[in-house]
Structure 1
Amino acid sequence: MRYLEITVPRDRRRAVLAVLDDEGIEYVIADEATASTIEDAAVVRFPLPTRAVEPVLDRLADAGLDDARVVVIDAQTVVSQEFDELRDQYSRGGTRGERTSRQVLRTKADAFTPAISIYLVMLLISAVVATAGLLSDSPAVVVGSMVIAPLLGPALAASVGIVTDDAELRSRGFRYQTIGVAVVIVASIAIATLARLGGFEPSGVDIVVVAELEERVSPNVLSLAVALGAGVAGILSLTRGFSEAIVGVMIAAALIPPAAAVGITTAWGMYGAALGAFVLVVVNLLSINLAALVTLWVAGYRPQTPGPGLFEVSPTRKRTATYAVLFGLALAILTAPLVGITLLEFQTTQLTSTADEAVTEVLEDPQYDELEAESVEVVLDDEYPIRSVDRVVVTVRGLDPGPQPDLADRLYERVAAETQESVVLKLQYTVGEERGEPDEDVFFRTVRSG
């Protein structure tokens, strides 16, 4: 519920009261001396259901209320039979959803965008925590970095500014998002560089695997779900009064860890991996903005252009459609690599299953009774972000394993027959009932087929 206080010129009092009477709104009117530029003003106060704020203000604008001062206050309780009837009137068939008016929506989006100094400081702290969490392989620390990141307001301000035709809010939203991502990346590069110089990097070990960055430097299309969901949830939190804190964490989850991954991989000189993480950051930014914009449109919010009146609305949809198309096209282009990575994951899963079946079938031969399959692994190359299959590693175990006649040949021929593509197969042996170190005799075989 809302409580409105409107200051109107005396000569337009009759038109304003006619609108309120027609809507069945209880009001109080008083003549008050004000320090504003409105001479001989009257103040009208009345409660409204949340859903009624926007249409009532639009009707007042049509009545010529073009130089009024309006204050909208949250109201906890209104005890009135007339108010109950008014609330039922705007409940749309019994559904009493709390749809925030576009005037209040703009104010809330602005309120969730902090001052630039606080914004930068909190993002620096979040970047340090996220980088430390990724390098130390600590999910709890990474989650902590999301909690303190003030990204909710900037992530939604641009879309709200578009649909409410608030150029300043729109510009600030885009500007804050760009600055925020840049700050996190630069800070992460600095922290990761210090960590590398300090000897954090394990000798001969891939930092992407050690720090569990792989899903962020080589993302698939499922990564879009987080960002799209965050955009939708963010708008619902503003328009329906859901928990903004939880939604803010969700938005940060789509932006902070990938941005920190860009910094870490850049500091380690893995520029392909850094490119993959950066693509994910941009894709998530576009997804959040597109999802927020579409959700606002579906919820019934429309663009407005400044006119002579405070609430005069001109539903110019061109600007909103233009931004939606731009977001959609950019997202479609950048999603192409993610589709390729997803297809590779399907291929890898299928190849692993095929190789596993081939190994089981070949080892069923009586001459290999002393051997059993230890593992089958499909290894990808290090060409981030779009990788490819490098080799298939087959490990067999036995009490006293040694080179088996034609085993490598039979395995790669069987795998090649199933995959119909070039494969590099590596066969290695382990000794004993328990998993041991690979035998010194390791066999490599390349298949060229198809």
Structure 2
Amino acid sequence: MLHLRLLTPTDRTAEVISLVEKTVGTAHLAVVPGASRDPHGDLVMCDVAREAGDELISGLRELGIDECGSIAVDDIELSLSQRADRAEKDAPGEGSDAVVWEQLVAATHEESTLSVTYLAFLSLATMIAACGVVLDNAILIVGAMAVGPEFGPLAGFCTALVRRAPRLAWRAFWALIVGFAVAIVITVGFSHVMAWLGQFDAAKLEADRPNTAFIYQPDTFSLVVALLAGVAGTLSLTSAKSGALVGVAISVTTVPAAANAAVAFSFQEYRQAWGSTEQLLLNLLGIVVAGTLTLLIQKALWSRRISAKPAPSSRPDLP
């Protein structure tokens, strides 16, 4: 279930109440007249089944409530109510399959912001991975993959393509390009410092690396894993199963590839640098393609399910 908190001008409250009442899957409608001071108006609250949330939020935006008032949405972790149970039963489809597009756009917009924090995490992850490739240490590689924040812009780019939002697409693309460029440059400098300290050298990079050689040797499995991870990551976002993102993060060779490219470039190992760059681009492409197709399929299946679902029969309210 989702909880909606709406601030509405007094002359628009009746329209909002009417929309909530006729939306299948809503419950617990409450109105507090005059409660809002900025903007001046009323406070309207209700709960809505996740599978009906996108329809209601879109309707509220069509009424212009996001411009003249406010729409705030929270996930409800626990709701003990027979009315809530009935609302979820009446709403079309299953909540775990529903995509709340406005929520997805808002989340990916935030994750796609080119901020100092984003650059810091990506750079730190790349430097950790640099240590992993030189030491041929798989544990450091996995740790670096978990730290990297690059899936946010990737998901934002996929969402922007499906929603036909060029500004969000450019924002996400810019965050990816600038983020990896900055991380690689910083890691090149880090490699030189480590070499000066006697910790990095060309011999370690050129030695047999059974645990990390795959990073600069892209193959068919690289693309297959990227495609599967793109599907899993997108599903984890749209179904609010954020825990699955950790598994996605440590399955795709993006940050390690950028790190290996940076270290190899530092020691003029251009063959490894080029192979790592190919690995990075292949994984990014695979995630974008799979993520976009997943969203398109979800959108088509959900539209079909809603259109095929018969309207619920009217039943008396529970006492």
* TM-score, normalization by structure 2: 0.80
For the residues of structure 1 that align with 2:13 and 2:202, how far apart are their CA atoms? 77
Tell me which residue corresponds to 1:122.
121
SS for the counterpart of 2:7 is: strand
Decide whether the 8 Å contact of 1:2 with 1:49 is kept in 2: yes
Decide whether the 8 Å contact of 1:50 with 1:101 is kept in 2: yes
Tell me which residue corresponds to 1:21.
21
SS for the counterpart of 1:178 is: helix
Decide whether the 8 Å contact of 2:254 with 2:284 is kept in 1: yes
Superimposed CA distance per residue, residues 110-155 of structure 1 (whole angstroms, 9 cap, x where no aligned partner): 3445762122222222222111111111111111212222223222
Q: Aligned pair count?
A: 296
Tell me which residue corresponds to 2:286.
287
SS for the counterpart of 2:220 is: coil
Deviation at residue 259 of structure 1 after TM alignment: 1.0
For the residues of structure 2 that align with 1:48 and 1:156, how far apart are their CA atoms? 26
SS for the counterpart of 1:6 is: strand
Deviation at residue 5 of structure 1 after TM alignment: 1.5
Decide whether the 8 Å contact of 1:237 with 1:247 is kept in 2: no
Deviation at residue 193 of structure 1 after TM alignment: 3.9
Tell me which residue corresponds to 1:136.
135
Deviates more, 1:140-149 or 1:179-188: 179-188
Tell me which residue corresponds to 1:313.
none
SS for the counterpart of 1:254 is: coil
Q: What residue identity is the alignment partner of 1:294?
A: L
Quickly say closer, same or farther: Cα 1:45–1:219, change in 2 above 3 A: same
Quickly say closer, same or farther: Cα 1:21–1:211, change in 2 above 3 A: closer
Q: What residue identity is the alignment partner of 2:141?
A: V
Tell me which residue corresponds to 2:308.
none
Decide whether the 8 Å contact of 2:129 with 2:144 is kept in 1: yes
For the residues of structure 2 that align with 1:76 and 1:223, how far apart are their CA atoms? 37
Tell me which residue corresponds to 2:73.
72
Tell me which residue corresponds to 2:12.
12
Where do 1:33-112 residues align within 5 Å?
33-37=35-39, 39=40, 41-61=41-61, 67-92=68-93, 95-97=94-96, 99-112=98-111
Where do 1:13-412 residues align within 5 Å?
13-23=13-23, 25-26=26-27, 27-37=29-39, 39=40, 41-61=41-61, 67-92=68-93, 95-97=94-96, 99-113=98-112, 116-195=115-194, 198=198, 200-201=200-201, 207=206, 209-210=208-209, 214-242=213-241, 243=243, 245-247=245-247, 249-250=249-250, 253-300=252-299
Superimposed CA distance per residue, residues 237-292 of structure 1 (whole angstroms, 9 cap, x where no aligned partner): 111122155145236x4201111121222223232332222122112112212221
SS for the counterpart of 1:128 is: helix
For the residues of structure 2 that align with 1:54 and 1:202, how far apart are their CA atoms? 55
Higher relative contact order (CA 8 A, sep 6+): 2
Q: What residue identity is the alignment partner of 1:2?
A: L
Deviates more, 1:173-182 or 1:27-36: 27-36
Superimposed CA distance per residue, residues 360-415 of structure 1 (whole angstroms, 9 cap, x where no aligned partner): xxxxxxxxxxxxxxxxxxxxxxxxxxxxxxxxxxxxxxxxxxxxxxxxxxxxxxxx
For the residues of structure 2 that align with 1:23 and 1:206, how far apart are their CA atoms? 61
SS for the counterpart of 2:218 is: coil
Quickly say closer, same or farther: Cα 1:201–1:57, change in 2 above 3 A: closer
Decide whether the 8 Å contact of 1:98 with 1:240 is kept in 2: yes
For the residues of structure 1 that align with 2:259 and 2:78, how far apart are their CA atoms? 46
For the residues of structure 2 that align with 1:290 and 1:84, how far apart are their CA atoms? 37
SS for the counterpart of 2:282 is: helix
The runs of 5 or more residues in structure 2 that have no matched partner are 302-319
Deviates more, 1:111-120 or 1:263-272: 111-120
SS for the counterpart of 1:32 is: strand
Q: What residue identity is the alignment partner of 1:17?
A: I
Quickly say closer, same or farther: Cα 1:199–1:295, change in 2 above 3 A: closer
Q: What residue identity is the alignment partner of 1:286?
A: L
Quickly say closer, same or farther: Cα 1:202–1:177, change in 2 above 3 A: closer
Tell me which residue corresponds to 2:314.
none
SS for the counterpart of 1:73 is: strand
Deviation at residue 295 of structure 1 after TM alignment: 1.2
SS for the counterpart of 2:148 is: coil
Deviation at residue 58 of structure 1 after TM alignment: 2.9
For the residues of structure 2 that align with 1:217 and 1:115, how far apart are their CA atoms? 27
Quickly say closer, same or farther: Cα 1:200–1:74, change in 2 above 3 A: closer
Decide whether the 8 Å contact of 2:156 with 2:172 is kept in 1: yes
Quickly say closer, same or farther: Cα 1:234–1:202, change in 2 above 3 A: closer
Q: What residue identity is the alignment partner of 1:89?
A: D
SS for the counterpart of 1:235 is: helix
Tell me which residue corresponds to 1:407.
none
Quickly say closer, same or farther: Cα 1:34–1:165, change in 2 above 3 A: farther
Structure number having the greater helix percentage: 2
For the residues of structure 2 that align with 1:278 and 1:166, how far apart are their CA atoms? 28
- CA RMSD, 1 decimal: 2.9
Superimposed CA distance per residue, residues 277-323 of structure 1 (whole angstroms, 9 cap, x where no aligned partner): 21221121122122211111111189xxxxxxxxxxxxxxxxxxxxx
Deviation at residue 179 of structure 1 after TM alignment: 1.8
Deviation at residue 11 of structure 1 after TM alignment: 3.0
Quickly say closer, same or farther: Cα 1:199–1:70, change in 2 above 3 A: closer
